[in-house]
């Protein structure tokens, strides 16, 4: 670059440039310009401010506690158990009431099991045999009930049998009732108390109506017009989840109880209300042997001679998962930054200068 060019470049650094505006006398261009301005303005007012409410500060760190309690009784009269009255101590697990709990609706009972020697149940591949060498002593039966003793037990002249095992005998029965044992569970009631707090705004609320009437919770039931009576009929929850009670009670299932707290805290606290919806969480369309929901538990006893025995229960029923979500929004950024006396102080703190 020559000397003259360098001199011209240096002098250009001291030039002052200003924008020049050309006013076009065109109605079409002017109309298009104003339409674009109006579109942007409407977008800001309607979408950003009115719908999305972007001027609000949002707290999604919802703190929640859930307390549940089931009430109801059921009567059964079966060959296996005889006459029996069932209350919450029998059919609710765990008994103290949490955000996940289980209500027994059907039961397969194998009574009076004792540890000893018996035949493995038919239909278990690893427990089937045709001779003693098929039952290796000391091995456990895969997906079975005990340890092999080394003997193959066959009935009559049959060429196939099952391995003899050391187990709780007799082994669990495979029979499945055609009707749920606790049909009356449909009328049980579930009390779900939910406390929530938005720590950012120090706002707390519960889904129970604060009233001086001590009999309110003993007589009310939840409905779309009675949101602050959290007492639900079990059969209604199942129906709202799109399931049939008798079907889910027979083989079991999982129901989600969702409580949503979407609160605009610019409004009065009375506008911050819980919203409920219910759905079935397990795959109800799967027709496999593992469909439904069940688990086993046992009750242990000792006979007059001190020998331990037990009643084995395979419990089918409904597991309820109470799921709480929510957010709180509050008109505070604009207040702090523009509308109060010390707005400049808060503005300097919020926007860092670099």
Half-sphere exposure of 343 (CA within 13 A, CB side): 10
Q: Which tokens belong to 157? A: 């002249």
Residue 76, annotated ligand binder? no
Residue 69 annotated as lining a ligand binding site:
yes
Q: Identify the DSSP state of 50.
A: I
* Residue 280 annotated as lining a ligand binding site: no
303's tokens? 């006979």
Is residue 53 marked as binding? no
Instruction: State how far the alpha carbon of 164 is from the alpha carbons of 49, 110, 200, 269, in Å.
Output: 75, 19, 65, 68
Q: Is 92 exposed, middle or buried (0-12, 13-18, 19+ CB in 10 A)?
A: buried
Residue 203: enclosing H or E segment and its boundaries? strand 203-206
159 is in an annotated binding site: no
In Å, the largest CA–CA distance within the chain is 120
Q: Is 234 left (phi over 0), alpha (psi -120 to 50) or beta?
A: alpha
Q: Is the Cβ–Cβ distance between 291 and 283 less than 8 Å?
A: yes
Whether the Cβ atoms of residue 91 and residue 186 lie closer than 8 Å to each other:
no
- Structure token pair of residue 281: 């969480």
70 is in an annotated binding site: yes
**189 annotated as a binding-site residue:** yes
**How far is 310 from 303, CA to CA, in rounded Å?**
10
CA 247 to chain centre: 21
Distance between CA atoms of residues 100 and 126, nearest Å: 36
The whole-angstrom separation of Cα 228 and Cα 209 is 5
Q: Closest Cα to residue 197, out of 104, 64, 68?
A: 64
- Token pair 């066959």: residue: 154
Instruction: Judge whether 213 is annotated as a binding position.
Output: no
- Going by the annotation, the residues of the binding site are 69-71, 189, 294-296, 314
- Going by the annotation, the residues of the binding site for ATP are 69-71, 189, 294-296, 314
């Amino acid at each position: 670059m020559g000397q003259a060019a360098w001199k011209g470049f240096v002098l250009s650094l001291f030039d002052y440039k200003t924008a020049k505006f050309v006013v076009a006398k065109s109605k079409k261009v002017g109309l298009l310009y104003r339409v674009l301005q109006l579109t942007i303005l409407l977008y800001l007012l309607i979408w950003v401010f009115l719908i999305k409410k972007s001027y609000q500060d949002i707290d999604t760190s919802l703190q929640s506690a859930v307390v549940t309690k089931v009430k109801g009784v059921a009567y059964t009269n079966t060959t296996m158990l005889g006459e029996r009255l069932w209350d919450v101590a029998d059919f609710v697990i765990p008994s103290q009431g949490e955000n996940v709990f289980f209500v027994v609706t059907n039961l397969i009972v194998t009574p009076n099991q004792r540890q000893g020697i018996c035949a493995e149940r038919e239909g278990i591949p690893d427990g089937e045999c045709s001779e003693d060498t098929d039952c290796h002593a000391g091995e456990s039966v895969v997906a079975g009930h005990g340890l092999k003793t080394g003997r193959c037990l066959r009935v009559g002249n049959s060429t196939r049998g099952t391995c003899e095992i050391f187990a709780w005998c007799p082994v669990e029965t495979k029979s499945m009732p055609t009707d749920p044992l606790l049909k009356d569970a449909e009328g049980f009631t579930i009390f779900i108390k939910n406390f929530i707090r938005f720590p950012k705004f120090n706002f707390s609320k519960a889904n129970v109506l604060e009233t001086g009437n001590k009999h309110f919770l003993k007589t009310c039931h939840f409905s779309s017009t009675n949101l602050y009576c959290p007492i639900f009929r079990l059969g209604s929850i199942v129906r709202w989840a799109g399931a049939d009670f008798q079907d889910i009670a027979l083989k079991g299932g999982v129901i989600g109880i969702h409580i949503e707290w979407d609160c605009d805290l610019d409004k009065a606290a009375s506008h911050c209300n819980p919203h409920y919806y219910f759905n079935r969480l397990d795959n109800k369309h799967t027709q496999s042997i593992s469909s439904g929901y069940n688990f086993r538990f046992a009750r242990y006893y000792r006979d007059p001679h001190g020998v331990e025995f037990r009643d084995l229960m395979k419990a089918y029923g409904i597991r309820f998962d109470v799921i709480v979500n929510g957010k709180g929004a509050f008109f505070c950024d604009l207040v702090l930054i523009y509308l109060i006396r010390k707005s400049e102080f808060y503005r300097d703190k919020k926007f860092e200068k670099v």
